[in-house]
C-alpha cells in the first residue's frame, strides 16, 4: 500500500455526520453477537470529600483511649448508671464541613484550653443529650427519650453541661504528660445558633467517642482547631521534640554548679560473721558478736557502693584508705 493511499481517510466528513445522525435516530443499529444494543450513560455525582479519616496522630489516639475510660467513669457517677465509652476515629476537615454533617440539633460546649490559644469544643448530639437528661432525672430504658428537639431547654442544657464538665476534667488529667492545661468553660451553645468558635474554613481535628446507654449507641466529639494544637502537633504525630543546645548547656552548667553542694549519707560496711539461727535467736542486750579481722571495707553513698579501701586507724579514729573506685559492673556485683 502506497503512502498516498494510507493517508486517505476511511470516511469523509459528510459520511461521518450521516453515520452519527443515523445512530442517534436509530436508523443505524449498533450490532453485537446478542443483537442490537444501545449504550446508556447513567449520571453519577462525585460527592466532595469533606473530611479525611486519619491515623496520623498516634499520641492523640493513645490519650483518647485513656480519656474514654475517664469519661465513662465520670458519666456513670453523674447518672448513677453504668455508661460505656470507647474512642472512635480521628478526622481532619474544616469546621464548616464538620457542622454540616449533623442533621439534628446538637449541643456545643466551648472551652478555652489554656495556655493553648483559641477554643475547643465538646460536640454532643441530640440523642446523647436526651439519654443523659432522661437518666439524670431518674428515667429508665423502658421510658424512651423524648422526640427530636429543635431547641434544648435550659434544664437539658445545664445537665448536659455537667457531663461536658467531666469530659473537660478528663482532658485536663489525661493531657498532663503532654501539657499542663487549665481549661475554662467559655459557653454552651446550640448548633442552630451562630457560633463563632472558629472560622468555617479553619481546619479542625475531630476525636469521635462512642457512648453506650444500655443497648443504645450514640456519638459525641471533642473538636480541636489545628491552630490551637500547632505547638503540640509534632508530638501528637509521634515526632520527637528538637532539643535546644543552648537550653541543654544551661542545664548542664546548673547541675555542675549545684551538684557538688548536695548532701548525701556516707556509710561503710566492714567485717562479717557467720552465726546459726539458734545463736541469733538467743542474743541479748550486751552480747558481743565477734567479727573477722577486717582488712578491707566498702564505702556507700546513699546505699550505692562507690569505692573500696583498706581498713585501719587514722588520727586515733577508725578509717578507710581509698584504694579503688568501683565501676558500674563492680557495683552491681
Question: 25 in a domain, yes or no?
Answer: no
What is the pTM (predicted TM-score) of this model?
0.56
**Is 317 within the bounds of a domain?**
yes
Residue 116 lies in a domain: yes
Residues 6+ apart with CB under 8 A from 111: 119, 120, 121, 122, 168, 183, 184, 185, 186
Distance between CA 308 and CA 325 in Å, rounded? 7
Q: Can you give the pLDDT at residue 223?
A: 94
Q: Assess whether 69 and 192 both reside in one domain.
A: yes
CATH code at position 120: 3.40.1550.10
How many angstroms separate the Cα of 165 from the Cα of each of 74, 78, 170, 239, 309?
Answer: 9, 11, 9, 31, 63
Residue whose cell numbers read 500500500: 1
Query: Domain span at residue 324?
Result: 265-332
Q: How confident is the model at residue 16 (pLDDT cuts 50, 70, 90)?
A: confident
Whether residue 202 is found in the same domain as residue 307: no
Q: Is the pLDDT confidence value at 142 over 60? A: no
**How many structural domains comprise the chain?**
2
Name the residue among 245, 113, 225 with its Cα closest to residue 179. Answer: 113
114 located within any domain:
yes
Site of grid cell 551538684: 259
Q: Is the confidence at residue 7, as pLDDT, over 90?
A: no
pLDDT digits (tens, 9 = 90+) for 26-75: 666 666 556 555 556 666 555 455 556 666 788 899 899 999 999 999 99
Same domain, 282 and 194: no
More confident residue, 18 or 165: 165
Residue among 315, 327, 322, 326 at smallest CA distance from 296 = 322
Short-list 65, 63, 71, 68, CA closest to 176? 63
- What are the tens digits of pLDDT across the range 277-329? 888 888 889 888 887 767 788 888 877 888 888 888 888 888 888 888 886 65
Q: Tell me the pLDDT tens digit for each residue of 222-259.
A: 999 999 998 888 888 876 556 667 777 888 888 888 77
Mean residue pLDDT of the chain comes to 80
pLDDT: which is higher, 260 or 84: 84
132 and 87, same domain (yes or no): yes
Amino acid at each position: 500500500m502506497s503512502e498516498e493511499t494510507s493517508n486517505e481517510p476511511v470516511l469523509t466528513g459528510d459520511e461521518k455526520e450521516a453515520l452519527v445522525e443515523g445512530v442517534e435516530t436509530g436508523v443505524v443499529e449498533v450490532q453485537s453477537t446478542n443483537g442490537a444494543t444501545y449504550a446508556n450513560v447513567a449520571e453519577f455525582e462525585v460527592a466532595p470529600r469533606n473530611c479525611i479519616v486519619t491515623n496520623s496522630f498516634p499520641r492523640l489516639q493513645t490519650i483518647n483511649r485513656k480519656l474514654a475510660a475517664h469519661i465513662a467513669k465520670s458519666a456513670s457517677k453523674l447518672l448513677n448508671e453504668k455508661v460505656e465509652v470507647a474512642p472512635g476515629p480521628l478526622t481532619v476537615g474544616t469546621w464548616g464541613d464538620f457542622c454540616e454533617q449533623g442533621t439534628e440539633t446538637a449541643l456545643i460546649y466551648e472551652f478555652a484550653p489554656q495556655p493553648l490559644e483559641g477554643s475547643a469544643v465538646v460536640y454532643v448530639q441530640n440523642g446523647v443529650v436526651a439519654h443523659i437528661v432522661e437518666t439524670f432525672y431518674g428515667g429508665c430504658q423502658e421510658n424512651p427519650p423524648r422526640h427530636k428537639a429543635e431547641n434544648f431547654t435550659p434544664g437539658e442544657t445545664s445537665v448536659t453541661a455537667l457531663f461536658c464538665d467531666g469530659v473537660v476534667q478528663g482532658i485536663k488529667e489525661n493531657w498532663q504528660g503532654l501539657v499542663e492545661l487549665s481549661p475554662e468553660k467559655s459557653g454552651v451553645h446550640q448548633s442552630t445558633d451562630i457560633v463563632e468558635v472558629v472560622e468555617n474554613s479553619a481546619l479542625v481535628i475531630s476525636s469521635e467517642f462512642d457512648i453506650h446507654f444500655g443497648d443504645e449507641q450514640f456519638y459525641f466529639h471533642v473538636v480541636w482547631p489545628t491552630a490551637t494544637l500547632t505547638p503540640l502537633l509534632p508530638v501528637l504525630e509521634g515526632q520527637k521534640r528538637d532539643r535546644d543546645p543552648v537550653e541543654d548547656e544551661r542545664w548542664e552548667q546548673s547541675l555542675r554548679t549545684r551538684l557538688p553542694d548536695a548532701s548525701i549519707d556516707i556509710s561503710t560496711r566492714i567485717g562479717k560473721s557467720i552465726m546459726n539461727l539458734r545463736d541469733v535467736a538467743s542474743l541479748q542486750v550486751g552480747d558481743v558478736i565477734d567479727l573477722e579481722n577486717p582488712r578491707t571495707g566498702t564505702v556507700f553513698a546513699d546505699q550505692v557502693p562507690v569505692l573500696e579501701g583498706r581498713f585501719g586507724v587514722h588520727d586515733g579514729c577508725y578509717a578507710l584508705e581509698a584504694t579503688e573506685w568501683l565501676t558500674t559492673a563492680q557495683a552491681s556485683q
